[in-house]
């Protein structure tokens, strides 16, 4: 490698507004009540989780553990059963559900009211998808083209997608279902921050010598972005923090694109950028 590396960071890399707002709400609530609980982590990022713990924002396993402070329902939505349970137990709820997730709940109910068989394109077991599925009876989750093929013939179907799905995966699944479903109605519920993030990463991966994606290995959203970037640029690498950056990746490179999963905080992205610039 010779000369200085030109580093371009995706304009909207990192937290989406839904996660940003949820974190703000958690901080405000903890400051007001001294403490706030969450059923599971607010984002799949270890640094964010430990920062929040320091502010008395605690992860609990059950609503029964919320004895002395309210519970924050996270950005990606919560199953109706838990809302009911919280009401029955008199637990205070701070609702941080993203408005775009509520929109998916609304759309799936509308499709169900039209007597369609319901499909959700999304990851099995992901909290957002589980909460979407719980909005209507008998919704089927499809995560791969193979699962779509296995569905067989359907007369009337209504389909939504998880907000962070990859456009290409959704398109492939819809193409398969179009051959199998007589009357298909698809509402594209991939949210606009996700689409924007995917578009920006594609642009950067195509024009830069090396592409770096910042995000936790436990984040499905980051994994998808890495996959998208890799199809356009084989020199794509995922890092969790600045320490993961390997000087060997930048041999003969002149330009580097940097993006991040929706659960990566700004300071972490900046640390990675500084590390690359120092090479």
Residues labelled catalytic: 128
Which tokens in the block code for residue 206? 């195509």
Q: How far is the CB of 89 from ligand SF4 (least distance, A)?
A: 26
Cα separation, 215 vs 12, whole angstroms: 14
Measured from the CB atom, the residue of 167 and 253 that comes closer to ligand SF4 is 167
Indicate the residue among 184 and 262 with the shorter CB distance to ligand SF4.
262
Q: Cα separation of 209 and 152, whole Å? A: 43
14: left (phi over 0), alpha (psi -120 to 50) or beta: left
* Among candidate residues 127, 130, 153, 149, the one with its CA nearest the CA of residue 141: 130
Structure-token pair, residue 48? 């964010």
Q: Could you tell me the smallest distance in angstroms from the CB atom of residue 260 to ligand SF4?
A: 13
Note the residues at the interface with ligand SF4 (CB under 6 A).
16-19, 75-76, 98, 100-101, 163-164, 191, 193-194, 262
CB atoms within 10 A of CB 110: 15
- To ligand SF4, the closest distance from the beta carbon of 182 in angstroms equals 30
Shortest CB 261 distance to ligand SF4, Å:
10
**Residue 208 vs 264, nearer CB to ligand SF4:** 264
Pick between residue 30 and residue 75 the one whose CB is nearest to ligand SF4.
Answer: 75
Rounded to the nearest 10 degrees, how much is the dihedral formed by the CA atoms of 181, 187, 79, 87? Answer: -130
Q: 108 is written with which tokens? A: 């799936």
């Amino acid at each position: 490698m010779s000369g200085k590396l030109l580093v371009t960071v995706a304009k909207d890399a990192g937290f989406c507004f839904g996660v940003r707002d949820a974190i703000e709400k958690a901080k405000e609530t903890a400051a007001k009540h001294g403490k706030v609980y969450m059923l599971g982590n607010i984002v799949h990022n270890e640094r964010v989780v430990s920062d929040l713990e320091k502010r008395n924002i605690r992860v609990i396993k059950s609503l029964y553990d919320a004895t002395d402070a309210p519970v924050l329902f996270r950005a990606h939505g919560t199953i109706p059963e838990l809302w009911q349970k919280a009401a029955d137990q008199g637990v205070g709820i701070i609702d941080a559900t993203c408005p775009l997730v509520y929109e998916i709940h609304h759309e799936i109910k509308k499709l169900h009211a039209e007597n369609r068989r319901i499909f959700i394109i999304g990851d099995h077991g992901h909290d957002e998808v589980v909460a979407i599925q719980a909005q209507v009876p008998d919704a089927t989750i499809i995560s791969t083209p193979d699962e779509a093929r296995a569905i067989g013939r359907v007369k009337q179907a209504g389909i939504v997608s998880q907000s962070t799905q990859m456009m290409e995966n959704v398109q492939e699944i819809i193409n398969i279902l179009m051959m199998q479903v007589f009357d298909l109605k698809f509402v594209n519920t991939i949210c606009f921050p996700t689409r924007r993030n995917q578009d920006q990463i594609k642009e950067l991966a195509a024009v830069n010598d090396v592409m770096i994606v910042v995000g936790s290995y436990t984040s499905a959203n980051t994994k998808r972005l890495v996959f998208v970037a890799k199809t356009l640029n084989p020199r794509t690498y995922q890092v969790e923090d600045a320490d993961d950056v390997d000087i060997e990746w930048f041999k003969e490179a002149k330009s580097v694109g940097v993006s991040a999963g929706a659960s990566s905080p700004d300071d972490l992205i900046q640390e990675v950028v500084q590390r690359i610039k120092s090479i």
